[in-house]
Amino acid sequence: MKTKALINLLSDRRIHSGASLATQLGVSRTAIWKQIRRAQGRGYRIETLKGRGYRLEDHVDLLDAERIRASLPGSLQESIDLRVLESVDSTNAEVARYRAGHSDDPGAGAVMVCLADTQTAGRGRRGRAWLSPPGENLYMSMGLTLRGGFTALEGLSLVIGVAVAEALERLGLRNVGLKWPNDLQHEGRKLAGILVELQGELEGVVQVVAGVGLNVHMREAAGVDQPWTSLSQAQEKTPWRRNDIAAELTSSVLAAVDEFAVNGFEAFRDRWQQRDVFYGHSLRAVQGEMEGIGRGIDASGHYQIETEQGIQTVRAGEVSMRVMS
Ligand code: BTN
């Protein structure tokens, strides 16, 4: 029996007796008890009510590859290699491993899209960990191929930020903000992060793994040291479903990357700018020791700060920026 089958039964968050779970899954009550322990070990919060049964404490809607595939546009149903896992160390690492094992023909074949219900070693930018509780958020990675050498990558992570923001807006989220270089925010709180990792380059063909972590149902996040939110907190009444969101994000990101490969970053500059949370605010570029007013991005996606010495630009990866209070 897989954890998934058990969690699916518990996902109505009602109390289920061990006996009824055992009957529905065709196993013994002892097997149910063991599986409950295993699920708890994976991070699912399941309450045991003495003499009554078990109850799932958090809102969980499990990923389902068939549902995601059915919600994708027909053209993508054929052209992506979709993998949905219960648990993995990191979806970015999984895509990189898979591609490293199939590196004979870089750039050919279906785009690999990998999602997992939980990550045991989710990675954030700047070597940070990415909290990945099971069943609550979206953790997805795509194996992308771009031509034109490393310069072809300039602006890519901002393009993905625009694509994720537009996907969420199509799903009904209002007031989505982009915090340079590529965090998504809602009312000043982090909603999603993007991690683009370079995998290799051969004769101008560059392979990258683009990962998106999006908070969907999360209500508690022990140890997160910055203001954060989730779709459910931002807009409680919207019925957020991870499978629908996964499909919308996949088609939005892949369409944006295709457009970027043909037309470059220029087509995305305004779309990014409209959502810039720094624009017009007093900023401090940490490490760059620069202070001034946020003036948006230039044609390559570098951030511009109006300082006493004039406009100065900062590159992603060089500095991090804070709004000064
Ligand atoms: C950030 O620090 O803001 C970037 C977070 C990126 C997290 C996502 S979750 C899916 C993918 N797999 C990972 O290990 N990281 C990215």
60-103 pLDDT, tens digit per residue, is 888 999 999 999 999 898 889 999 999 999 999 999 999 888 76
Report, in this order, helix, strand and coil percent for the chain, each rounded to 5. 35, 30, 35
The answer to whether 167 touches 240, Cβ cutoff 8 Å, is: no
Q: Which pLDDT band, with edges at 50, 70 and 90, does 325 fall under?
A: low
- Cα of 277 vs centre of ligand 1, distance in Å, is 21
Residue 323 has pLDDT above 80, yes or no: no
**Ligand 1, atom nearest to 89 Cα:** 14
Lowest mean pLDDT among 31-40, 65-74, 110-119, 216-225: 216-225
Lowest mean pLDDT among 39-48, 104-113, 196-205, 259-268: 104-113
Among candidate residues 125, 242, 275, 295, the one labeled active-site is: 125
Mean residue pLDDT of the chain comes to 91
Q: Which pLDDT band, with edges at 50, 70 and 90, does 131 fall under?
A: very high
Q: What is the pLDDT of residue 59?
A: 80
**Nearest alpha carbon, ligand 1 atom 8:** 213
Q: How far is CA 7 from CA 39, 222, 230, 246, 251, in A?
A: 8, 22, 21, 20, 28
Mean pLDDT of 170-188: 95
Lowest mean pLDDT among 19-33, 109-123, 240-254, 304-318: 304-318
Q: Which residues lie closer than 8 Å to 65 by C-beta, 6 or more apart?
A: 82, 83, 84
Mean pLDDT of 214-227: 89
Residue 134 has pLDDT above 80, yes or no: yes
Closest CA to 193 of 217, 220, 211, 174: 211
To the nearest 10 degrees (0 to 180), the angle between helices 242-263 and 266-273 is: 130
Residue 105 has pLDDT above 70, yes or no: no
Which pLDDT tens digit goes with each residue over 237-261?
A: 999 999 999 999 999 999 999 999 9
Structure tokens belonging to residue 271: 């779309």
The answer to whether 257 touches 162, Cβ cutoff 8 Å, is: no
Lowest mean pLDDT among 38-47, 184-193, 250-259: 38-47
Lowest mean pLDDT among 5-14, 171-180, 244-253: 5-14
Residues 65, 49: Cα–Cα separation, whole Å: 33
Q: Which pLDDT band, with edges at 50, 70 and 90, does 46 fall under?
A: very high
The answer to whether 314 touches 298, Cβ cutoff 8 Å, is: no
Residue 43 has pLDDT above 60, yes or no: yes
Mean pLDDT of 125-150: 92
Pick from 7-16, 113-122, 127-136 the range whose average pLDDT is largest.
Answer: 113-122
Structure tokens belonging to residue 313: 């630009």
Closest CA to 10 of 134, 140, 139, 119: 134
Residue 163 has pLDDT above 80, yes or no: yes
Closest CA to 295 of 309, 283, 308: 283
Q: Which residues lie closer than 8 Å to 84 by C-beta, 6 or more apart?
A: 63, 64, 65, 68, 114, 115, 116
- Ligand 1: lining residues by beta carbon, under 6 Å: 90-92, 119, 122-125, 128, 130, 139-141, 183, 193-195, 211-213
- Cα of 54 vs centre of ligand 1, distance in Å, is 32
Report the percent of the chain where pLDDT is more than 70.
Answer: 96
Structure tokens belonging to residue 62: 């499990």
**Ligand 1, atom nearest to 190 Cα:** 3
Three-class secondary structure of residue 115 per DSSP: strand
Q: Which residues are paired to 316 by β-bridges?
A: 319
Structure tokens belonging to residue 129: 């960990």
User: Is residue 305 within a helix (H) or strand (E), and if so which, with residue range?
Assistant: strand 303-307
Q: What is the pLDDT of residue 103?
A: 66
Residue 122 has pLDDT above 80, yes or no: yes
Q: What is the pLDDT of residue 222?
A: 82
Residues 231, 245: Cα–Cα separation, whole Å: 11
Among candidate residues 99, 123, 179, 190, the one labeled active-site is: 190
Q: What is the DSSP string of 211-236?
A: EEEE-SS----TT--S-B--HHHH-T
**Nearest alpha carbon, ligand 1 atom 10:** 139
Residue 20 has pLDDT above 90, yes or no: yes
Residues 206, 146: Cα–Cα separation, whole Å: 5
Residue 321 has pLDDT above 80, yes or no: no
- Cα of 128 vs centre of ligand 1, distance in Å, is 9
**Nearest alpha carbon, ligand 1 atom 11:** 211
Residue 322 is among the residues annotated as catalytic for this protein: yes
What pTM, to 2 d.p., does this model score? 0.89
- Cα of 123 vs centre of ligand 1, distance in Å, is 5
Closest CA to 135 of 247, 223, 215: 215
Residues 86, 8: Cα–Cα separation, whole Å: 12
Mean pLDDT of 149-163: 92
Report the percent of the chain where pLDDT is more than 90.
Answer: 72
